Amino acid sequence: MEILAFGVQADEQPLIEKAFRGRYEVHCLDVFLSADTAPIAAGHEIISSSVNADLGADVLEILAAGGTRMVAQRSTGFNNIDLDTAERLGMTVARVSYYSPYAVAEFAWALAMAVNRRIVRASNRTRDFDFRLQGLMGRDMHGRTAGVLGTGRIGEAFARIARGFGMRLLGWDVAENPVCMELGMRYVPKGELLAESDLVTLHVPLMPDTRHLIDAGALKTMRDDAILVNSSRGGLIDTAALVEELRAGRFTGVGLDVYEAEAGLFFLDKSLEAITDDTLARLVTFPNVLVTSHQAYYTEDAVGQIVDATVRNVMDYLDGRRSENVLVPRS
């Protein structure tokens, strides 16, 4: 049996091939799964998809018609998958429910500190032998307030780091995390968190209830000199509204590892093409904004765990077992 893996990054491919070696054959493709590329999967019972794959109804129909019966997604998020259609088609769907929370939490902190201390601007200057300090002044994080929206494993890891900086901790979630409370976190309503926090970080899943969690009203609630970081899902922020606030000169810094319209852009080289997304094009022009390409999870540790979990998901499917990673069980 050959498993077809879509959207495989060059750094990721050796880890995938090593994990599957001796068990099943795997063929890695650098193209992302979409309606245009789904016919490639014809004849493959099992395919593996990446976080930016399109697994809407149309794509699932094409996959099912070609004989695909199992989708193993290499990510925690699954908002890109039409689970109802998969169930109707009798397709098994599994994801990776857990991997290193430190990868994402540490990267979120890297974004926060980069925009706070103007690291990118400073680096660009020194490359031109411009060693002035004008415009590079940041702020101590010690003694300031970190607001954590979503206090699961990643939010908890972020809070631990914030505690190390000597920050006051505010949290918001549907359920309180006892570990975060032991760290000194106080749970408050979202509006209070946004109004009081010097640093706001997002670590909640993207669902209908959380889409545009940070909308125009929420942005106006935040402090003018706040730092906003999103390393979770792009759709949590109303980007058009964020651009308007940035145009008004608000926020010390914004660090975004995700973007709500990133599909078809992120993970690809678009450097020689005209970017037709005016919102993204405007966003990256602000000197206090840093955008990266959905790389927070991208460490050897986290990717290795994701690949290992994907192998286990495939083995569970073939052996008729069901784990906590299964979103749509085998019929």
Q: Name the nearest CA neighbour of 75 among 260, 201, 205.
A: 205
β-bridge pairing 92-94 and 326-328: antiparallel
Q: Does residue 331 register a pLDDT over 80?
A: no
**Which of the four pLDDT bands, split at 50, 70 and 90, describes residue 1?**
confident
How far apart, in whole angstroms, are the C-alpha atoms of residue 177 and residue 327? 24
3 state DSSP class of 42: coil
Q: What is the mean pLDDT of residues 80-88?
A: 96
Q: Does residue 127 register a pLDDT over 90?
A: yes
Residue-wise pLDDT for 247-296, tens only, equals 999 999 999 999 999 988 898 889 999 889 999 999 999 999 999 999 99
Whether 294 sits among the annotated catalytic residues: the reply is: yes
β-bridge pairing 186-187 and 2-5: unpaired
* Cα four-point dihedral sign 126, 128, 133, 139: negative
Question: What one-letter code names the amino acid at 58?
Answer: D
Q: Which of 12, 233, 245, 260 is catalytic?
A: 233
Tokens standing for 248?
């008004």
Helix 119-127, helix 101-116: angle, nearest 10: 60
Share of the chain above pLDDT 70, in %: 100
Tokens standing for 170?
């505010």
DSSP string, 94-133: E------HHHHHHHHHHHHHHHHTTHHHHHHHHHTT----
pLDDT of residue 249: 97
Q: Does residue 77 register a pLDDT over 90?
A: no
Q: Name the nearest CA neighbour of 82 among 64, 57, 58, 61.
A: 57
pLDDT of residue 17: 95
Residue-wise pLDDT for 90-105, tens only, equals 999 999 999 999 999 9
Q: Which of 95, 153, 203, 294 is catalytic?
A: 294
Q: What is the mean pLDDT of residues 32-44?
A: 96
pLDDT of residue 268: 87
How far apart, in whole angstroms, are the C-alpha atoms of residue 159 and residue 100? 15
pLDDT of residue 219: 98
Q: Does residue 194 register a pLDDT over 90?
A: yes
Residue-wise pLDDT for 294-313, tens only, equals 999 999 999 999 999 999 99
Whether 212 sits among the annotated catalytic residues: the reply is: no
Q: Does residue 46 register a pLDDT over 90?
A: yes
Distance from first CA to last CA of the chain, Å, rounded? Answer: 20
Q: Which of 12, 156, 260, 262 is catalytic?
A: 262
pLDDT of residue 147: 98
Average pLDDT of the chain to the nearest whole number: 96
Q: What is the mean pLDDT of residues 118-129?
A: 96
pLDDT of residue 195: 98
Contact 132/155 with Cβ under 8 angstroms?
A: no
Give kind and range of the element (H or E) at residue 63.
Answer: helix 57-65
Whether 244 sits among the annotated catalytic residues: the reply is: no
Q: Among the ranges 10-14, 216-220, 268-272, which has the highest mean pLDDT value?
A: 216-220
Residue-wise pLDDT for 221-256, tens only, equals 999 999 999 999 999 999 999 999 999 999 999 999
